[in-house]
Amino acid sequence: MKKIFVLIALAGSANLAAAADIVGNAKAAENKTSMCIGCHAIPGYKASFPEVYQVPMIGGQSAKYIENALKAYQKGERKHPSMRGIAAGLSDQDIADLAAYYSQQK
């Protein structure tokens, strides 16, 4: 029985280590930005779904801010329906890559 608990503990710590080892690759994100640029790359752009609002420019934001925002959309903590749909399809690596990419933009 002790062996089972040790295996479970090791598996849990391996998952935590794997999540901590994710490093964003800005170059890899270049092929992942197509869903972002249609709104976030247009200065002064206003979207009309679900209501009219000013779309924020994300270029130059900190990587941590972008990661946290995308994960909050995935969890439903942020409510914008389009962003929730986009974030839902992103892996942790995708999020790290996009965050690295946009944090380097001006």
Question: What CATH number does residue 84 fall under?
Answer: 1.10.760.10
pLDDT in tens, 3-46: 554 445 555 555 555 556 899 999 999 999 999 999 998 899 99
Domain membership flag for residue 27: yes
98 by Cβ neighbours in 10 Å (0-12 / 13-18 / 19+) ranks as buried
* Number of domains making up the chain: 1
Q: How far apart, in whole angstroms, are the C-alpha atoms of residue 78 and residue 75?
A: 8
Domain membership flag for residue 79: yes
- Tokens 């690759």, residue? 25
Domain membership flag for residue 7: no
Domain membership flag for residue 8: no
Domain membership flag for residue 61: yes
Q: What pTM did the predictor assign?
A: 0.76
Domain membership flag for residue 66: yes
